Amino acid sequence: MSTKQLLAEIERGINALQKARALCLKGEAAAPKAKTTAAKATAAKTAKVTKVPAKEATRGGVSDESRAKMAAAQQKRWAKIRRAKKKAAKAALVVPAAE
């Protein structure tokens, strides 16, 4: 894509955004100011309520209690595997006496 084409594409995008802005401003001018302020206040309240901290969002939505249960279950599985390995190792060491 040449520089001229790129600039033309950017210019088209700017024009589209300016048209959209004009339509939004025209819609706001038609609505009374009291409703706009009330709508903004309501939007601000809902934005505060629905805001989720980034730390919780990255954890996959699993509670601390559930995470502890999963960890305990995994440790139990690992212990079972270790016991099986030890049992197999002991069985390999015990050689029956040849008579």
Please write the tens of the pLDDT for every residue from 78-98.
999 999 999 999 888 876 666
Task: Say if residue 72's pLDDT is above 80.
Answer: yes
CA 52 to chain centre: 10
Nearest to 86 by CA among 95, 94, 98, 74: 94
Hunting for tokens 């409703």 — which residue is that? Answer: 35
Asked whether the beta carbons of 28 and 36 are under 8 A apart, the reply is yes
Average pLDDT of the chain to the nearest whole number: 79
pTM, two decimal places: 0.34
Residue 85, both tokens: 């390995």
Task: Say if residue 47's pLDDT is above 60.
Answer: no
Q: What value does the mean pLDDT take over residues 3-29? A: 89
